[in-house]
Amino acid sequence: MNPYGYFDDAAREYVITRPDTPLPWLNYLGSDEYFGLCTNTAGGYTFWKDAKLRRISRYRYNNMPMDLGGRYLYVRDGDVVWNPGWKPTKTALDHYECRHGLGYTKIVGRKDSVEVELLFFVPPGENTEVWKTTIRNTGDVAKSITLFSFIEFCLFEANNDMTNYQRTYSIGEVEVEGAGIYHKTEYRERRNHYALFGCTRPVDGFDTSRDAFVGVHNGLNDPDVPLRGKSRNSIGHGWNPIGSHQINLTLAPGASESFAFILAYVEQGDEPKFDKRFVMNKSVGRAELERYSRPGAVDAAFAKVEAYWDNLLARFQTECPDPHASRMLNTWNQYQCMATFNLSRSASLFETGIGRGMGFRDSNQDILGFVHMIPERARQRILDIASTQLVDGTCYHQYQPLTKKGNAEIGGNFNDDHLWLVLSTASYLRETGDRSILDAAIGYADVPGSTDSLLHHLETSIAYTLRERGPHRLPLIGHADWNDCLNLNCFSTEPNESFQLIGDVEGSKAESVMIAGLFLYAAREMVSMYKWLGRPADADRVQSYYDDMLATVEEQAWDGEWYIRAFDAAGNPVGSKSCEEGKIFIESQAWCVLGGAGASNGRAKQAMESVHKYLYTPDGIILQQPAYSEYHLELGEISSYPPGYKENAGIFCHNNTWINLGWCLLGDGDRALEYYLSICPSAKEDKIDTYRCEPYVYAQMIAGRDADTPGEAKNSWLTGTAAWTFLSVSQGLLGIQPSYEGLRVDPCIPKSWPGFSVSRMYRGTTYNITVDNPSGICQGVRRMTVDGVVVDGNVIPPSASGGMVDVRVVLGA
């Protein structure tokens, strides 16, 4: 039992029944360009496209309390001031409920017979956040109350906003027109956009100066204006602009009133900027507020959010015997895949939206779990990412979503990055069959004006890894591979330098077995792709690269019971029985196995059994064992974490999923499900006070058994776990695999499962697939019929019908 809430599966909501959750539990609003972070107490902030360069409302991370600042509504009833989401006043409520749904959050608070419902959402395709507000008098006497809305504006560039007070305290500018509060800082000079915080009903007062509303010596828990009960109608000049409306309401017993606040990002476009000197032309914003003030407009906009998600999720739905797997796959996992696709690792409660932009490897992997929902957007993203590749094959490790330019501070030379581009492109091709993407012309980031085909970018990626190899003929690791904290080339002794970027050790030839495995996987993708394209010579050529790397891996990287992880700058093995600590790692087992190593000589099975013996725990698979107990200069950041956390023997959920796929490859569906459940948040509800993060989305990390807080999760939401879990369960366990030839059905399920069904939209047709498991096995399709006709093998022939196709599958020997 989870004392904080429960899943309402039918409504696709997670319902939080008390506000003091073990950590703030987050939801996201918006799915195109305008995004809001919204916690269960209405905390969070909003931005347009880029949390660093276009932040609309302000948020101070790691505050006390941790989550402070957001979309607040203060209710003043007599002398009592309260918030429907409990915070910031924390006045005790008679009733509280928060429903995190798909693209919306609904918070209801009630006190002394006044019930306030706030429904926050961003309609698809719009740059406006709507707060539908409903006030009900649930008692039997009339009520007169005063409401005060509150938002603190961010001066758009979030880094400057939080650091450069000598400037920012002097630049803030606002205008007020009726119920519209316009935040126009820097609009007079280089900005052609502004923010609008408006109300769809007439207001009885307003404030735009934080000092006037909150008070210099007060906080959001005891803001001056709600306490005194009257707005000051302040106009902010510099300092900190805010938006607040005062609304006086009298409600008869049983009566209710509904209206909305809107928070919009407005681009001025070609409209003249000013009506007259110092007075901005507000026509675009004014029209937006008018549009939402029309009867029915708010509800119609919300209906669009619901329809949007109904449509998207209908592309993949399953009924399977495991309730956690079903609800996560059908709803929350796909929803989280949208968030990671949109935001990469940029803006969550653990990422400030300022540091990282979009990650090259991260975004490529995010596509794997997203491509079935909106392939067109995946296509564009692949092209954007590819254009941050350099002509030698390496790529910018990160880029800024607004400018789509590589981040020069961090640069390239993370030697796994470019290979993930092969995986994302292949997943797009297998999903859509749209080969035109391979001809799309995209430049290399370091050659202005260059254009080359995407296919050539993929070849450049393959060539880079083939070329950049070390003494064991394994790929050089560069700054790091997938494990950002395995820093074999930079011996950092200064606390104030970056583990990844400090000057490379002279002549270092540190190598990565994980990259070798990833290369095998990518090369095999290329071979299949060339065969499908009807280019057998190219398929053979890439096959020969594969064979060569496979031989190298088998000769150089086998340690007796598992695959070595890497060779350090001195040529010593990392992740070998000869090491004192860090003897065995997940990543090399996973990628060697997924890449086809050990398939013919029993090593794959042995490597996986070693994972089970040394790394598996009921809370997930530990990244490596034994944990590093001291700092190792030659290994870098990995040994900087206390044992059991993050890359130092934490449970990194992301790479757990690769092992789960490995079990499916080996045909062990029982292990695959058991491992899956070990990191599944929905299965953590009975130990939620230990786990602490949201039970509806995967976390990046769970503290391992070496930690002092084993089982405690961190870094929820923005993690590669989202996309990879979707793959490991939908394609591995349930075995619904998009392939070049068509949809393949190759389940690997627990023996006890009698069967399951999946409805999958693929290339425009919906396949209703029923799988029966009469003889209680894990893997093996005995018979498949498509619309009643028996077909050979287990690939559903592509159908151009655009309608429904009935597929029956029977497992058996």
3-state secondary structure of 307: helix
Active site residue 792: no
Helices 360-368 & 375-386, crossing angle to 10 degrees? 160
Answer whether 581's CB lies under 8 Å from 644's CB. no
Residue type, 360: F
- State whether residue 592 is helix, strand or coil: helix
By C-beta, is 485 or 569 nearer to ligand GLC? 485
DSSP-derived letter for residue 565 is -
Residue nearest to ligand GLC (CB): 484
Between 175 and 416, CB nearer to ligand GLC: 416
CB of 351 to ligand GLC, least distance (A): 9
List residues near ligand GLC by CB under 6 A.
345, 359, 361-362, 482-485, 500, 637, 646-647, 700, 719-720
Q: Which of 207, 416, 484, 706 is catalytic?
A: 484
**Cα separation of 316 and 318, whole Å?**
7
The 10 Å Cβ neighbour count of residue 178 is: 12
Q: Which residue from 423, 444, 511 is spatially nearest to 731, judged by alpha carbons?
A: 423
CB of 781 to ligand GLC, least distance (A): 34
Question: Which residues are within 8 A (CB) of 107 and not within 5 positions of it... i.e. 6 or more apart?
Answer: 40, 41, 42, 84, 85, 96, 97, 98, 99, 117, 118, 120
Pick 407 or 700: Cβ nearer ligand GLC: 700
Least distance from ligand GLC to the Cβ atom of residue 541, Å: 30
Min CB(506)–ligand GLC separation in Å: 23
Residue 632 or 646 with smaller CB distance to ligand GLC:
646
User: Could you tell me the smallest distance in angstroms from the CB atom of residue 630 to ligand GLC?
Assistant: 18
C-alpha Rg value of the chain to the nearest Å: 28
What is the spatial distance between Cα 439 and Cα 459, in angstroms, rounded to a whole number? 13
Q: CA-to-CA distance for 726 and 653, rounded, in angstroms?
A: 13
Q: How far is the CB of 350 from ligand GLC (least distance, A)?
A: 10
Q: Please provide the distance, in angstroms rounded to a whole number, between the alpha carbons at the two ends of the chain.
A: 40
CA–CA separation, 687 and 78 (whole Å):
41
Q: Which is nearer to ligand GLC, 198 or 353 (CB)?
A: 353
The token pair that represents 664 in the structure block: 């499916």
What is the smallest separation between the CB atom of 340 and ligand GLC, expressed in angstroms? 10
List of E strands, 9-58 = 13-16, 26-29, 34-39, 46-48, 55-57
> Is 81 within 8 Å of 101 (Cβ atoms)?
no
Contacts of 610 (CB under 8 A, 6+ apart): 561, 562, 584, 589
Task: Judge whether 352 and 60 are in contact, CB under 8 Å.
Answer: no
Cβ 135 to ligand GLC shortest distance, Å = 43
58 DSSP 8-state letter:
-
Q: How far is the CB of 646 from ligand GLC (least distance, A)?
A: 5
Cβ proximity to ligand GLC: between 133 and 344 the closer is 344
Nearer to ligand GLC, 701 or 784 (CB): 701
Closer to ligand GLC by Cβ: residue 638 or 749:
638
Structure tokens at 401: 């979503």
How far is residue 516's CA from residue 514's CA, in Å, rounded to a whole number? 5
Task: Give the nearer residue to ligand GLC in terms of CB position, either 326 or 648.
Answer: 648
Q: How far apart are CA 634 and CA 500, in angstroms?
A: 12
User: Please, which residues have CB within 8 angstroms of residue 404's CB and are 6 or more apart in sequence?
Assistant: 384, 387, 388
Q: Residues with catalytic annotation?
A: 484
